[in-house]
């Protein structure tokens, strides 16, 4: 069967991405303490490193989420009865297959909408989806989920999927804004499928973000490589140590880069020089962990009702399905 035509909407081009990096670098590196958003880990090398991380013995979230989806995809399809699957931050859409197969088996699937910042990755994923599901329309959207949610295609009965625990990378105020935007864009009958990592033994959490083989440390330092390449910076990656820390008061993990010596770094593209003291840290990621009560309250504040809650056998990770309250 000939694959269906693929539609690709582009709301984010290379110039937009470059401008966003300059803005984030200037804002974060001028702050005290200094920080950078985790989105800048993910150039081609960073994405490959993260794929390696998901296969490490210490890193449980991907395995746990796949376990849940493998067992519960049919239940999800029955509960939402969606004809359109929208996946935010879809990447290669690898996990999407489990949901698409379940929705197709239920007889409701008509459209899939992969949404991601990388046009090249999205076009490749869209072609694969079109070939694998030739009777299903593929409407890919290149955009940033913090800026372009209002541009998602409407109509039908939609399931918006935001998987991988990515919601935890957002600061609480950003999470509230994100969930509010999703809720405002939903129509009666639409659902939100959310993957959330759960609070657990801090030792296991630290191990998941500081693996023995050092892959996560290399992933963390990759953001400096991105700044060097894109902003002409002169960070020396070997002069930074990877730090992974559980912050109990916020119930989140932090990844940081610690300067091993006093150093001066130039970033010509944004006209900045920064002085780093020995031991000074640059925060590169937060990863919030949730309890059922906490995510229920955050969904409720956004106008959503948690209708279903599924976990893996060990209770390490949850997939939730919510609807408009």
Please, which residues have CB within 8 angstroms of residue 120's CB and are 6 or more apart in sequence? none
Confidence tier at 92 by pLDDT (50, 70, 90): low
Confidence tier at 49 by pLDDT (50, 70, 90): very high
Confidence tier at 146 by pLDDT (50, 70, 90): confident
pLDDT, tens digit, 9 for 90 and up, residues 244-284: 999 999 999 999 999 999 999 999 999 999 999 999 999 99
pTM for this prediction: 0.94
Q: How large is the C-alpha radius of gyration of the chain?
A: 20
Question: For position 3, what pLDDT does the model report?
Answer: 59
Identify which of 95, 169, 126 has the alpha carbon closest to the alpha carbon of residue 6: 126
pLDDT of 205 above 70: yes
Per CATH, the number for 6-10+58-200+290-324 is 3.40.50.150
Count H helices, E strands: the chain? Answer: 9, 14
For the chain, what are the domain ranges? 6-10+58-200+290-324
Answer whether 322's CB lies under 8 Å from 305's CB.
yes
pLDDT, tens digit, 9 for 90 and up, residues 96-120: 899 999 999 999 999 999 999 888 8
Residue-averaged pLDDT of the chain: 94
Alpha carbon distance 86, 103 (integer Å) = 12
């Amino acid at each position: 069967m000939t694959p269906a035509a693929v539609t690709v909407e582009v709301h984010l081009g290379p110039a937009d991405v470059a401008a966003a990096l300059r803005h984030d670098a200037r804002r974060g590196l001028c702050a005290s303490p200094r920080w950078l958003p985790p989105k800048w880990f993910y150039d081609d090398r960073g994405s490959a490193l993260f794929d390696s991380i998901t296969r490490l013995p210490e890193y449980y979230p991907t395995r746990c989420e796949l376990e849940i989806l493998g067992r519960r995809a049919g239940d999800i399809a029955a509960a939402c009865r969606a004809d359109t699957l929208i996946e935010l931050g879809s990447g290669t859409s690898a996990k999407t297959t489990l949901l698409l197969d379940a929705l197709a088996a239920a007889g409701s699937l008509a459209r899939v909408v992969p949404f991601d910042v990388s046009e090249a990755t999205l076009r490749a994923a869209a072609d694969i989806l079109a070939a694998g599901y030739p009777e299903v329309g593929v409407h890919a959207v290149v955009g940033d989920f913090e800026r372009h949610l209002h541009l998602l295609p409407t109509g039908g009965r939609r399931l918006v999927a935001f998987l991988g625990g990515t919601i935890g990378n957002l600061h609480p105020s950003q999470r509230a804004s994100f969930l509010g935007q999703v809720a405002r864009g939903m129509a009666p009958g639409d659902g939100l499928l959310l993957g959330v990592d759960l609070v657990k033994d801090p030792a296991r959490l630290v191990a998941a973000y500081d693996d023995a083989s050092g892959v996560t440390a290399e992933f963390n330092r990759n953001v400096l490589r991105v700044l060097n390449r894109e902003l002409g910076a002169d960070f020396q990656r070997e002069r930074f140590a990877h730090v992974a820390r559980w912050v109990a008061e916020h119930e989140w993990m932090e990844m940081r880069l610690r300067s091993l010596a006093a150093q001066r770094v130039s970033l010509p593209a944004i006209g900045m020089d920064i002085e780093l003291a020995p031991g000074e840290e640059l925060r590169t990621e937060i990863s919030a962990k949730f309890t059922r009560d906490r995510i229920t309250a955050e969904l409720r504040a956004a106008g959503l009702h948690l209708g279903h809650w599924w976990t893996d056998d060990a209770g390490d990770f949850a997939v939730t399905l919510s609807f408009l309250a």
